[in-house]
């Protein structure tokens, strides 16, 4: 008896990124098939992935790519998995009713037994369903602060590359950027077995990296505040982060009383002025670790820390690896990228 295919609906809508939609499609379509093709055999994938939009009509995705869906919400049946690959909107941007149809469909599919999966910023839509209330969740590191503010009943973990949640583990979420590779391998393993997932990883050179997504994060994320006093202090910190008493100087340039300044700064940025300075300093330290071979001690002093051991502890806590580990991981990468770029000129 022939087993029915595992159906995976890939959500197409305005602001989705074509690379992730079609990347999922290619990986799922190649299960078993590609491995056997390389070894002289023949097989079909146990998955049937289909691109679905609200009305089945073509969608102009992010970056202007035209995606042609295979089905609408009404005609796609009852997929085993529904995946929101990403949503290319700014963190915390008000979405209004732009995605109400997609959110309602996701909620209905979950009620009917579908597994819901999201990758990267796709968590923005999953969160709007209300299904993440009381659960652990993950998303791209740049989105988690806004998601924490908008959905405080969900526990957000930007450092998690892959996460399973909810009854029956029917919510699967991948974190930042290329963590969608982990998500597609997890789905293949769940339905077709670990050997099939390993074959896909080997064919496509997918590495299940152990590096935390937090190590890639920009600690200086977020736009300059619309509060003019806070924005003035942010601009001062960007140029003078090495100062011995940065918070006192930020208060002074803001023109506000200290308590008022700290309250408004926290409201505007979600962090205290001192934490903000630490973030600016550590981001600068990351750039120096990537680009040069100065000692850790000298980098600590350069960005404003006279105690190198304190710098090491703070860096490890915020970046999830030591400065030396960061240099080995990302200094080598930047060097290889430079060499590649030079070779192509």
- The Cα 178–Cα 201 span in angstroms is 13
- The Cα 82–Cα 195 span in angstroms is 23
- The Cα 90–Cα 72 span in angstroms is 27
Tell me what the mean pLDDT of segment 200-205 comes to: 85
Tokens of 138: 């993950």
Examine the pLDDT at 340 and tell me if it is beyond 70.
Answer: no
- Position 220 scores a pLDDT of 52
- The Cα 92–Cα 270 span in angstroms is 13
Which band of pLDDT confidence, cut at 50, 70 and 90, is reported for residue 10? very high
What are the two backbone dihedrals, phi and then psi, of residue 53, each rounded to the nearest 5 degrees? -125, 170
Dump pLDDT digits (tens) for 161-188. Answer: 888 999 899 999 998 767 788 889 889 9
Examine the pLDDT at 62 and tell me if it is beyond 50.
Answer: yes
Which band of pLDDT confidence, cut at 50, 70 and 90, is reported for residue 22? very high
CA 97 to chain centre: 23
Neighbouring residues of 56: CB distance < 8 A, sequence distance ≥ 6: 69, 70, 71, 72, 75
- Position 86 scores a pLDDT of 92
DSSP character at residue 212 = -
CATH number of the domain located at residue range(s) 6-214 in this protein: 3.40.50.880
Reduced to 3 states (helix: H, G, I; strand: E, B; else coil), residue 83 is strand
Examine the pLDDT at 228 and tell me if it is beyond 60.
Answer: yes
Topology at the third CATH level for domain 228-343: Arc Repressor Mutant, subunit A (1.10.10)
Q: Environment class of residue 312 by beta-carbon count within 10 Å: exposed (0-12), middle (13-18) or buried (19+)?
A: middle
DSSP character at residue 340 = H
DSSP codes of every residue in 261-305: HHHHHHHHHSS-HHHHHHHHHHHHHHHHHHH----HHHHHHHTT-
- Are 288 and 295 within 8 A, CB to CB? no
Q: Environment class of residue 116 by beta-carbon count within 10 Å: exposed (0-12), middle (13-18) or buried (19+)?
A: buried
The C-alpha R_g of the chain, in whole angstroms, comes to 23
Tokens of 143: 């989105």
Among 121-135, 173-187, 211-225, 301-315, the range scoring the smallest mean pLDDT is 211-225
**Angstrom distances, CA of residue 115 to CA of 80, 84, 112:** 6, 11, 9
DSSP character at residue 327 = I
- The Cα 239–Cα 261 span in angstroms is 19
- Position 345 scores a pLDDT of 43
Which band of pLDDT confidence, cut at 50, 70 and 90, is reported for residue 92? confident
Residue 58's CB is within 10 A of a number of other CB atoms, namely 12
Q: Tell me the percentage of the chain whose pLDDT exceeds 90.
A: 54
Examine the pLDDT at 256 and tell me if it is beyond 60.
Answer: yes
DSSP character at residue 210 = -
**Angstrom distances, CA of residue 270 to CA of 304, 319, 320:** 23, 18, 21
- Position 344 scores a pLDDT of 47
Q: How many helices (H) and strands (E) does the chain have?
A: 15, 11
**Domain parsing of the chain, residue ranges:** 6-214, 228-343
Q: Which of residues 221 and 321 earns the better pLDDT score?
A: 321
Q: For residue 297, how many C-alpha atoms fall within 13 Å in the half-sphere facing its CB?
A: 0
| DSSP-assigned beta bridge partners for residue 116 | 82, 171
Say if pTM beats, i.e. exceeds, 0.75: no
């Amino acid at each position: 008896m022939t087993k029915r295919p595992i159906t995976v609906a890939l959500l197409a809508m305005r602001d989705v990124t074509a690379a992730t939609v079609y990347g999922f499609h290619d990986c799922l379509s190649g299960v078993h098939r590609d491995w056997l093709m390389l070894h002289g055999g023949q097989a079909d994938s146990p998955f049937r992935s289909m691109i679905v939009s609200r009305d089945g009509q073509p969608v102009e995705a992010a970056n202007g790519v035209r995606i042609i869906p295979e089905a609408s919400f009404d005609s796609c049946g009852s997929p085993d998995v529904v995946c929101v690959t990403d949503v290319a909107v700014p963190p915390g941007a008000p979405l209004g009713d732009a995605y109400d149809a997609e959110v309602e469909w996701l909620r209905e599919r979950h009620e009917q037994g579908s597994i819901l999966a999201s990758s990267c910023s796709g968590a923005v839509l999953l969160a709007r369903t209300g299904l993440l209330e009381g659960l652990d969740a993950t998303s791209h590191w740049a989105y988690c602060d806004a998601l924490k503010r908008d959905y405080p009943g969900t526990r957000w973990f930007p450092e998690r590359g892959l996460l399973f949640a909810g009854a029956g583990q029917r919510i699967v979420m991948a974190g930042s950027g290329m963590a969608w590779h982990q998500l597609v391998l997890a789905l293949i393993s769940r339905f077709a077995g670990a050997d099939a997932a390993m074959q896909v990883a080997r064919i496509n050179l997918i590495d299940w990296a152990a590096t935390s997504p937090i190590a890639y994060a920009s600690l200086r994320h977020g736009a300059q505040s619309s509060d003019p006093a806070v924005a003035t202090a942010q601009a001062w910190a960007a140029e003078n982060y090495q100062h011995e008493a940065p918070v006192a100087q930020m208060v002074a340039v803001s023109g506000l009383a200290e308590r008022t300044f700290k309250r408004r700064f926290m409201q505007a940025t979600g962090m205290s002025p001192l934490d903000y300075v630490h973030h600016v300093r550590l981001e600068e330290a990351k750039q120096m670790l990537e680009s040069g071979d100065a000692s850790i001690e000298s980098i600590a002093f350069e960005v404003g820390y006279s105690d190198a051991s304190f710098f090491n502890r703070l860096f490890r806590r915020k970046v999830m690896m030591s400065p030396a580990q960061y240099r080995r991981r990302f200094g080598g990468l930047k060097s290889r990228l430079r060499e590649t770029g030079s070779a192509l000129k």
